[in-house]
Chains A and B, each alone.
Chain A
Amino acid sequence: MPKVRPRLIVALCTLSLPLALICLCVNGEANAQRSAIDTYAITNARIVTVSGPVVERGTVVVRNGLIAAAGANVSAPPDARVIDGAGMTVYPGLIDSYTNLALPEPAAGPSPAGGGPGAFLLQQAQARPSPGGPNSTQPVGLQPEVMVEDSIRSTGNDIESSRNIGITTALSAPRSGIWMGQSALINLSGQTPQQMIVRSPVAMHVSFTPLRGSYPGSLMGVFAQLRQMMLDAQRYRDSIQIYERNPRGIRRPETDRSLAALVPVIEGRMPVIMLANSEREISRALDLAAEFKLRLIVAGGREADRVADRLAKQNVPVLLSLNLPRRTTAAMPEADPEPMRTLRDRVAAQQTAAKLVKAGVRFAFQSGSLANITDLMGNANRTIENGLTPADAVRAFTIWPAEIFGVANQLGSIEAGKIANLTVTRGDLFDRNSRVTHVFIDGRPVDLRPTTPAPGAGERPSGRGGLSGTWTLNVNLGQGDRGATLTLQQEGDRVTGSIAGVLGSGEISNASVSASDEVRFTASLNIEGQTKEATFTGTVSANEIRGTVAVVGLAPGSFTATRVRPN
């Protein structure tokens, strides 16, 4: 049963839905008119329409949430609130084509205590999402039926930070899993989640991240399980069809929400967005898509230019991350030189966008979990310095994502009848000295606040500040304490890090933190001159982790880690 959303009027009408539905829309319309003023005109501005030529001096009229008119010869209606746009440029609202915006933090602890107005709402907003679909046949991580739409919240610092730099719309994708679930395209303003949604579901999401401790626990297993579930979905669909044709004499097929959710995917009706950055990850995504005739969209795409021919041939668009790799470590004489591949990749990543244009691969920009969203335009600028035309850079933030997500009739350009999402800047969007002066979402101006980087900017605010930081690790394997330094980075529920000390140095793997604050990771330790795998399992409380260490061939040991410095 489709839910009716006020902002979907145009789309719904064009789909010529039954009259009854249109009646319901009118009700929604009433809700949207709570604001006293809903007609605006930005005059004397430069207008980057994207769909047509740039209007050097013109007016954009916004009424009733939509763009009413735009052009050089348009004049402000008498009832409009007029913004003098002299010296300003109006762009279509920018679209961030891959985010987790509006989704609650997965591992958030209890809300901070404290009364005051809104505390109840705040608590609701931060309530922990249910980990998986109810009555699912599949374990968490393999539940394609999970929908972002069901768990988004309309408030949050991240939303505001994104709006501040001119982003009006974002694809909100599920955070984790193999079959991660289905995304929603949302406008970054609304009283309720329902008001924010532009389109849902947009796509099925897949990442090649193994589950922890259960099948599939390896990259190989991930592919096997993706295949098996798609085969199962085919059979599920066929079984139901056969059964519905004539149920007599056929044992009733069990319903299965997970497999049902995959049917539009295997039939090519719903696109699949796969997270893939390296050349080989993208190749694997392309192979899988070809095998099952999926409508693939690649997200990440750092090395997409190296597979550009295949992407173009299979008509696969890319949601290209602007989280451009940079060197983050200081120069030290003791350090090994960085691998050439790393050096080359950093340089090459800035050139990917231009190469994709040249190869005819469609793409849209995304922020790619940038630690600091304010770096987004600067990074876009780097792709321009490396050959992307500024016009294409604007397209990659506007009409191209709108086309990729099938909403080009609603978003992505400044044309009459489209949703009035506008980003207004003083100075060129990609100019380092430019400033976002106004943002309109659904025809309404959004309050812009100066960005104040929170302490520990880049960390997602989780209840305990996450695991990120530098920890002093003491390991006892029955031979006295051995010290090491443990560095952890937590990003969402993704934990990475490294260990260094007399026990050896290297990255940790299979790291995780559960909702009940259980931390797990494995590391290769140098024990008695041999490299051995150690599995750490512990419980984190504030700045301490305590637990046990299991090493193959040794009696179980214990460890404590104390945070000496947050990151």
Chain B
Amino acid sequence: MKILITILLICVPAFAQQIGNPTTQQGVIPARGVFAIRNARIVTVSGADIENGTVVIRDGKIEAVGTTVNVPAGAQSIDGRGLSVYPGMIDAGTNMGLVEVPQGANGTVDTSEVGELNPNAKAITAVNPHSAHIAVTRVEGITNTLTAPTGGLISGQAALINLLGTAPKEMAVVPQFALVINYPRVGFGGGGFGGFQAPPNLAETLSNNERQVEQIRKMLRDAEAYGRTLDAYEKDKTLPRPDRNVVLEPLVPYVRGEQPVIFRADREAEIRGALKFAEEMKLKPIILGGNDAWKVASLLKEKNVPVILTGVFSLPSREDDAYDILYENPAKLQQAGVRFAISTGDAGAEVRNLAQYAGMAAAFGLSKADAVKSVTLYPAQIMNVADRLGSIEPGKMANLVVTDGDLLEIRTRIRYLFIDGRPVVLTSRHTELNDAFKNRK
């Protein structure tokens, strides 16, 4: 360990020694403070790009943005000449921190609870702040992820987190953001085994799915009734006191449409089924997956339901699909006016490649500006945190990435990273191993 620390100390970029704490891997959060990034190109995302601008960060928040901003006295200053400042990227479809090694190390997997209906399973409880995935991901400019459980029919509740912190609570932006429901599948989405065809016994599948939807429906109705009973009792204590139920209780805000419900659904029939079910139950749906979303675009637009696309890099679901069918999915949704975000859909290890997913969408019809939005502002809007994340505006959380080029280009380097206004050292398990071995003779 001593050697590691020594190596770390030697290898930390120079700026980090000036600002921030070089020992993030040891679990100390770098301190907030006052920082100014000067003379940089500022890609605000929400507004026009600002050339030669300055961003001032104070106590975790963006204080000022513009060309005529005064740098406060005592601010730690970063020379941003030739650099660009972007809002941190957000991946709204991961299991970040819930799984370390998916194969052969079940002890590190915390994604799926026993049974089909687990609304009370909360991702924020199990997020491992010290997972190697977190630093590996953030040093590529991803500052936030939605971290969701995956199992059963009702998987649990997803958390929106900052990719920095020593405790889940410190990381949480929205600890219980959404309920996650796996809408029963009629076939596989992209790429996987059996991906070409719906099951030959589709009728059986559908009736089986209907039974599963009924299971979900029953639990949501129970939760609704449970909520009403509790409310009634609060108003009138002469009523019989209802027993508290830890499974139903967390469902109440979701069945009342106060918080969103994420439906995993890729195929057209699944998406339509989820939308219908959400309408019937008066839920606030978000589609996660969405490989066939372009086919359902007008309905999604009509119902104003957003989609978190995880399949941009998946192989087309069907043999006859055009080769670029999933590359073009974001552009088609954009044209149709459907709200969407681009996600890797990855458990953790490859979330760092989020920018390339957006880049591919831009190679196939999405504008470059929209591609950036699809991994910054759009996910923030979908997750109702656009007042805090997703763009560079005063008052927002200072989750910022300073690059030497286009945010989405793979050859671009991240030069500085701020999460929650804290300057993050750009080291990870991977840079450490690189440093340890690159000069082995």
Q: Which residues of A contact B199 (CB under 8 A)?
A: 498-500, 505-506
Interface flags, B153-177, vs A, CB<8A=1, else 0: 1000000000000000000000000
Contacts of A553 in B (CB 8 A): 103-104, 106
Are A507 and B102 in contact (CB-based, < 8 A)? no
Complex: chain A residue closest to B195, CB-CB:
A506
Cβ A339 vs Cβ B318 within 8 A: yes
Q: Which of A333, A339, A499, A530 has the most CB of B within 10 A?
A: A530
Is there a chain A Cβ closer than 8 Å to B269's Cβ? Answer: yes
Specify which chain A residues have a CB less than 8 angstroms from the CB of B109 in the assembled complex: 528
In chain A, positions 449-478 with a C-beta closer than 8 Å to chain B are 470, 478
B6 interface residue (CB < 8 Å to A): no
Q: Which of A60-68, A150-158, A479-487 contacts B (4 or more CB under 8 A)?
A: A479-487
Whether B208 pairs with A500 at a CB distance below 8 angstroms is yes
Chain A residues with Cβ below 8 Å from B182 are 502
Q: For the complex, what is the distance from the CA of A478 to the CA of B320, rounded to whole Å? A: 38
Q: Are A485 and B194 in contact (CB under 8 A)?
A: no
CB distance from A535 to the nearest CB of B (A): 14
Question: Which of A470, A479, A524 sits near B201, CB closer than 8 Å?
Answer: A470
| Chain A residues positioned under 8 Å from B114 (CB to CB) | 478-480
Number of B residues near A (Cβ < 8 Å) is 46
Which of B137-145, B184-192, B391-399, B424-432 binds A?
A: B184-192
The verdict on B437 contacting chain A, using a C-beta distance below 8 Å, is no
- Closest B residue to A524 by beta carbon equals B193
CB neighbours (8 Å) of B320 from chain A are: 337, 339-340
B106 touches A483 (CB 8 A): no
Q: Is A504 an interface residue (CB 8 A)?
A: yes
Check: B113 CB closer than 8 A to any chain A CB: yes
Check B208 against A531 for contact (C-beta < 8 Å). no
| B208 engages A506 (CB within 8 Å) | no
Q: What B residues does A504 contact at CB under 8 A? A: 185, 188, 194
B107-139 interface code vs A (CB 8 A; 1 in, 0 out): 001011111100000000000000000000000
Q: State whether B187 touches A485 (Cβ < 8 A).
A: no
Shortest Cβ distance from residue B160 to the other chain A in the assembled complex, whole angstroms: 19
> Once the chains are docked, how many angstroms separate the CA of A524 from the CA of B191?
13
Whether A506 pairs with B193 at a CB distance below 8 angstroms is: yes
Given the known interface contacts A329-B202, A336-B198, A498-B200, the answer about A483 and B185 at a Cβ–Cβ threshold of 8 Å is: no
On whether the beta carbons of A334 and B269 are closer than 8 Å, the reply is yes
Known: A505-B205, A531-B193. A483 touches B198 (CB 8 A): no
Given A500-B199, A528-B151, also A505-B208 (CB < 8 A): no
In angstroms, Cα B198 to Cα A501, docked, is 11
A341 at the interface (CB under 8 A from B): yes
Complex CA–CA separation, A89 to B248 (angstroms): 78
**Contact, CB under 8 Å: B204 / A528:** no
Q: Judge whether B212 is part of the interface by a CB distance below 8 angstroms.
A: yes
A339: chain B residues at CB < 8 Å are 196-197, 318-320
* B202:A332 contact, CB within 8 angstroms: yes
List residues of chain B with CB within 8 A of the CB of A338.
197
| Interface residue? B206 (CB, 8 A) | yes
Q: B342 to chain A: closest CB distance in Å?
A: 18
Instruction: Determine how close the nearest CB of chain A comes to the CB of B209; give it in whole angstroms.
Output: 8
Q: For the complex, what is the distance from the CA of A410 to the CA of B197, rounded to whole Å?
A: 49
Contact B112 A479 (CB under 8 A): yes
Is B208's CB under 8 angstroms from A485's CB? yes
Chain A residues lying within 8 Å of B111, measured Cβ to Cβ, are 528-529
Question: Is A121 positioned at the interface, with any CB of B under 8 Å from its CB?
Answer: no
> If A502-B182, A502-B185, A505-B188 touch, does A336 touch B212 (CB 8 Å cutoff)?
no
Please indicate the chain A residues that have their CB under 8 angstroms from the CB of B104 in the complex.
Answer: 553
CA of A478 to CA of B201, assembled, Å: 27
Question: CA of A339 to CA of B187 in the docked complex: distance in angstroms?
Answer: 15
Q: Would you give the 0/1 interface string for A527-539, flagging 1 where the beta carbon is closer than 8 Å to chain B?
A: 1111100000000
Q: Is the CB of B211 closer than 8 A to any CB of chain A?
A: yes
A500 touches B204 (CB 8 A): yes
Map CB proximity to B onto A542-554 as digits: 1 under 8 Å, 0 otherwise. Answer: 0000000000111
Chain B 93-110 near chain A by CB (<8 Å), digits 1 or 0: 001000000111010010
Partner of B187, one of A336, A340, A529, A531: A336
Given contacts A339-B320, A341-B319, contact A330 B198 (CB under 8 A): no
Cβ proximity bits A313-347 to B, threshold 8 Å, 1 near / 0 not: 00000000000000001101111111111000000
What is the CA–CA distance of A554 and B209 in the complex, to the nearest angstrom? 25
Check B203 for interface membership: any CB of A closer than 8 A: yes
A526 contacts B by Cβ under 8 Å: yes
Across the interface, A479 reaches (CB within 8 A) one of B115, B194, B318, namely: B115
Contact B194 A487 (CB under 8 A): no
A501: B residues at CB distance < 8 A: 184, 205, 208-209, 212
Q: Which chain A positions have C-beta within 8 A of B147?
A: none
B150: interface (CB < 8 Å)? yes
Whether B198 lies near A335 (C-beta < 8 A) is yes
State how many angstroms separate the Cβ of B205 from the closest Cβ of chain A.
Answer: 4
B279-318, CB under 8 A of A: which get 1 and which 0? 0000000000000000000000000000000000000011
User: For residue B318, which residues in chain A have a CB less than 8 angstroms away from its CB?
Assistant: 336-337, 339
* Residues in B neighbouring A554, C-beta threshold 8 A: 106
Q: Which residues of A contact B317 (CB under 8 A)?
A: 336
Q: How far is the CA of A338 from the CA of B104 in the complex (A)?
A: 38
**Would you give the shortest CB distance from B422 to chain A, in whole angstroms?**
32
Query: B99: nearest residue on chain A (CB-CB)?
Result: A528
Smallest CB gap from A472: residue in B:
B208
CB <8 Å contact, B192 and A524: yes
- Contact A500 B205, CB 8 Å, known A336-B187, A487-B200: yes
Residues of chain A lying within 8 A (CB to CB) of residue B112:
479, 527-529
- Which chain B residues lie closer than 8 Å to A484 at the CB level? 208
CA A498 to CA B208, docked complex, whole Å: 14
Give the docked Cα–Cα distance between A335 and B106 (Å): 36
* A524 with B194: CB separation less than 8 A: yes
Bound CA span A530–B150, Å: 10
Q: Which residue of B lies closest to A483 (CB)?
A: B208
Q: Smallest Cβ distance from B121 to chain A, in angstroms?
A: 12
Q: In the complex where A505-B185, A505-B194, A528-B109 touch, is A334 in contact with B151 (Cβ < 8 A)?
A: no
CB distance from A438 to the nearest CB of B (A): 42
Residues of A within 8 A of B115 (CB): 479-480
In the bound complex, CA of A480 to CA of B117 (Å): 10
The distance in angstroms between the C-alpha atoms of A479 and B115, with both chains bound, is 5
Bound-complex Cα distance A64 to B151 (A):
75
| B112 closest partner in A (C-beta) | A528
Q: Which residues of A contact B269 (CB under 8 A)?
A: 333-334
Minimum CB–CB distance for A476 against chain B, Å = 10
In the docked arrangement, what's the CA distance between A480 and B114, Å?
6
In the assembled complex, how far is the CB of residue A351 from the closest CB belonging to chain B, in whole angstroms? 22
CA distance A526 to B183 in the complex (A): 13
B-side contacts of A506, CB under 8 Å: 188, 193-194, 199
- Quick check: A482 and B204 within 8 Å, CB to CB? no
- In the complex, what residues of B have CB within 8 A of residue A470's CB? 201, 204
Nearest B residue to A565 by beta-carbon distance? B204
A window 248-301: CB within 8 A of B: none
Alpha-carbon separation in the docked complex, A145 to B186 (Å) = 47
Docked-complex contact B106 and A529, CB < 8 angstroms: no
Q: A483-B212, A505-B194 are in contact. Are A329 and B151 (CB under 8 A)?
A: no
B residues in contact (CB < 8 Å) with A: 95, 102-104, 106, 109, 111-116, 150-153, 182, 184-188, 192-194, 196-206, 208-209, 211-212, 269, 317-320, 347
A-B pairs, 10 with minimum CB distance: A506-B194, A500-B205, A480-B115, A505-B199, A334-B269, A500-B199, A524-B193, A485-B204, A529-B150, A479-B114
16 A-B pairs, CB-CB below 8 angstroms? A334-B202, A334-B269, A335-B202, A336-B187, A470-B204, A480-B152, A498-B200, A500-B201, A500-B202, A500-B204, A505-B194, A506-B199, A528-B112, A528-B151, A552-B103, A553-B103
Extra pairs beyond A500-B201, A506-B194, A531-B193 (7, CB < 8 Å): A337-B318, A338-B197, A483-B212, A500-B208, A505-B198, A524-B194, A553-B106
Question: A interface vs B, CB < 8 Å?
Answer: 329-330, 332-341, 470, 478-480, 482-485, 487, 498-502, 504-507, 524, 526-531, 552-554
